[in-house]
Amino acid sequence: MHTDARLLPDNTHIEGDICIVGTGPAGLSIAMEWNHTPFKIILLEGGGLEYDDQMQDTYGGPATGQRYYPLRSTRLHYFGGTSNHWAGFCSTFDPLDFEKRDWVPHSGWPIKKPDLDPFYAKAQEVLDLGPYEYDVKYWQQKDPALRSLLPDNPVVWNKVWQFSPPTRLGKKYGDAVKKSRNIHLYTYAHVTGINANEPVNSVEYLKVTNFAGKTHSVKARYYILACNTVQNARLLLAACPQAPKGLGNDHDLVGRFFMEHLEVQSAWLHLPAPSQLQLYRFSGIGSSRMRCELAISPEMQAKNRMLNGTCSFMPWELSKGMVPPIKMWSSEDPRKNEDSMHHMWSSHESSAKANVEGFKVWELKTRIEQAPNPDSRITLSSDRDGLGMPRSQLHWELTPFEKYSMRTLYELIGQQLGAHDIGRIRLMDYLRDPDDHAWPDTTGGGWHHMGTTRMSDNPQTGVVDANNKVYGISNLYIAGASVFVTAAAPNPTLTITALSLRLAAHLKRFIIK
């Protein structure tokens, strides 16, 4: 069932069992788990069914610290959320990513990889991925041309990525939602208020508004904030009049620990003879099923006290003419950025396909977790958006730890390549001096926002518990990458979806009981 909240009479009161705020991969995957149940699900989307520049503008905000993409254009504010422009890259977190690592401050999830495995398997279906197989041998048995660059060794391994078509969740589930009897989708229902009871231990209702000048209230037994990492924090910080320092923010954690994946060109691989490196190639959005990136074993990460990251390959002949994403994705309008990116990628893909003999020199790109850092954070700006909400403000802060880990990643890969007479690694200028902590102007992120409402088994170190419930608030849950404790190396959508499905399962057990 779908209702445009602009067309409702002003001050309409909406009621249901569960209210989900946001219709991206988190919100929609949770909602669909409740389809055809006796429970009334209120699904709130701040934007419309299609892109709307006025609504998109509510995502804008200033940024300080490490140069970043315009906040206004990194997330999409309409039905389907950012799945409307993601590229479909998926991989699972490693078991080590969930562990407390004594060399990574603030690491350690209250859940472990096996807790998530059944939901990863289910998330594969939501995102139209292949089988839940992330062992390279499975794929090599299906296609012997997918040869490993390195023989099995205790240092470097092949981490599998799978590619979603990419699934646009709004398109995939739109009809089902509209036809559903128990899922009530409200578009142009932008949450601007979270009203709590007087001791501020439960949410009483949400206030939603839109540019048509309509304001409505939404009451439910349970609420799930499934906006995105920036907006989840912003809502907690700004939207509750009874909690001026922020809802769930008794320990000043909301908005802190903002994390991104650093995605930076870092080195070159020189081979003595041309190769296609088929196992490591991405042949384009919609046409690749899987590929590998090189990763470092948990034992070597521990020994070298480094962050988790991977290395991907692109022929240097083709990549040297490409503009780094941080320079290309510079418009406040996400549509312009997408056009530029797709144009660049498609010209690269056609050049790559024209080459039959392979390449001797490859550009290596790092994808590495950012260490959890309380000073890397989302706060509220003094500026307000068109609906009267304080804008988000990002301070993105990196540390020498990320750069050390990147350098070590390539030293370890270089050592294995050398030990097996395969090739040699050459670091780019900015990585050569261990005492140089500056970042090059090509440094960018993966458009992956994580960590601002982190999960913990202790309210003093986390905003939500292991079941995504906000500490101190009995009926408020959070879904999405804002609950990530660490970022791992992979793109977050698969893990966001798996965690969301886990939350849906938890609520089902809890509510039905």
Q: How far is the CB of 300 from other proteins (least distance, A)?
A: 10
* DSSP 8-state class, residue 417: H
Q: 4: Cβ–Cβ under 8 A, 6 or more apart, which residues?
A: 48, 186, 187, 188
* DSSP 8-state class, residue 92: P
Q: How far is the CB of 489 from other proteins (least distance, A)?
A: 21
Q: Per the structure block, which two tokens stand in for 471?
A: 């500490």
What's the CA gap between 147 and 6, in Å, rounded?
56
Q: How far is the CB of 428 from other proteins (least distance, A)?
A: 7
Q: Which of 137, 343, 432, 509 binds other proteins (CB under 8 A)?
A: 432
Q: Which of 421, 460, 512, 513 binds other proteins (CB under 8 A)?
A: 421
Q: How far is the CB of 358 from other proteins (least distance, A)?
A: 14
What's the CA gap between 499 and 128, in Å, rounded?
17
Q: Is 426 in the site for other proteins (CB under 8 A)?
A: yes
What's the CA gap between 47 and 187, in Å, rounded?
6
Give residues 491-510 in contact with other proteins (rule: CB under 8 A).
none
Q: Is 414 in the site for other proteins (CB under 8 A)?
A: yes
Q: How far is the CB of 427 from other proteins (least distance, A)?
A: 4
- Contact predicate 463/246, CB 8 Å: no
Q: How far is the CB of 429 from other proteins (least distance, A)?
A: 7
Give residues 343-362 in contact with other proteins (rule: CB under 8 A).
360
Q: Write down the H helix ranges in 68-196.
A: 71-74, 95-98, 113-126, 136-142, 169-179
Q: Which of 1, 427, 466, 511 binds other proteins (CB under 8 A)?
A: 427
Site string for other proteins, 258-277 (x = CB under 8 A): ---------x--xxx-----
Q: Which of 93, 313, 410, 484 binds other proteins (CB under 8 A)?
A: 410
Q: Which of 309/414 has CB closer to other proteins?
A: 414
First to last CA, the chain: 27
Q: Which of 202, 242, 381, 415 binds other proteins (CB under 8 A)?
A: 415
Q: How far is the CB of 96 from other proteins (least distance, A)?
A: 21
Q: Which of 26/431 has CB closer to other proteins?
A: 431
Q: How far is the CB of 435 from other proteins (least distance, A)?
A: 13
DSSP tally for the chain: helices H, then strands E: 14, 19
Q: Is 425 in the site for other proteins (CB under 8 A)?
A: yes
What's the CA gap between 21 and 11, in Å, rounded?
18
Q: Is 411 in the site for other proteins (CB under 8 A)?
A: yes
Q: How far is the CB of 331 from other proteins (least distance, A)?
A: 34
Choices 34-42, 126-134, 419-427, 488-496 (CB under 8 A): range interacting with other proteins:
419-427
Q: Per the structure block, which two tokens stand in for 359?
A: 């390449």
Q: Which of 429, 435, 460, 513 binds other proteins (CB under 8 A)?
A: 429
Q: Which of 211/404 has CB closer to other proteins?
A: 404
Q: Which of 341, 428, 505, 511 binds other proteins (CB under 8 A)?
A: 428
Give residues 357-396 in contact with other proteins (rule: CB under 8 A).
360
- Contact predicate 470/462, CB 8 Å: no
Q: How far is the CB of 277 from other proteins (least distance, A)?
A: 16
Question: CA dihedral defined by 231, 104, 363, 146, rounded to 10 degrees?
Answer: -90
What's the CA gap between 509 and 512, in Å, rounded?
6
3-state secondary structure (DSSP) of residue 189? coil
Report which of 163, 125, 135, 134 is spatially closest to residue 290, judged by C-alpha positions. 163
Q: Which of 328/428 has CB closer to other proteins?
A: 428
Q: Which of 304/461 has CB closer to other proteins?
A: 304
- Contact predicate 128/150, CB 8 Å: no
Q: Is 423 in the site for other proteins (CB under 8 A)?
A: yes
Number of residues located near other proteins, criterion CB under 8 A:
24
319: Cα separation from own chain's centroid: 25
Q: Which of 309/423 has CB closer to other proteins?
A: 423
Q: Which of 217/415 has CB closer to other proteins?
A: 415
Q: Which of 92, 275, 376, 416 binds other proteins (CB under 8 A)?
A: 416
Q: Per the structure block, which two tokens stand in for 52?
A: 């709307």
Q: Which of 36/432 has CB closer to other proteins?
A: 432
3-state secondary structure (DSSP) of residue 156? strand
Q: Per the structure block, which two tokens stand in for 190?
A: 């932008």
Task: Answer positive or negative: Cα dihedral of 457, 460, 465, 468.
Answer: negative
What's the CA gap between 379 and 390, in Å, rounded?
10
**C-alpha separations of 186 from 3, 20, 135, 376 in Å:** 5, 10, 41, 34
Q: Per the structure block, which two tokens stand in for 133?
A: 């197989």
Q: Which of 165/272 has CB closer to other proteins?
A: 272
In the complex, the residues that contact other proteins under the rule CB under 8 A are 267, 270-272, 360, 410-411, 414-421, 423-429, 431-432
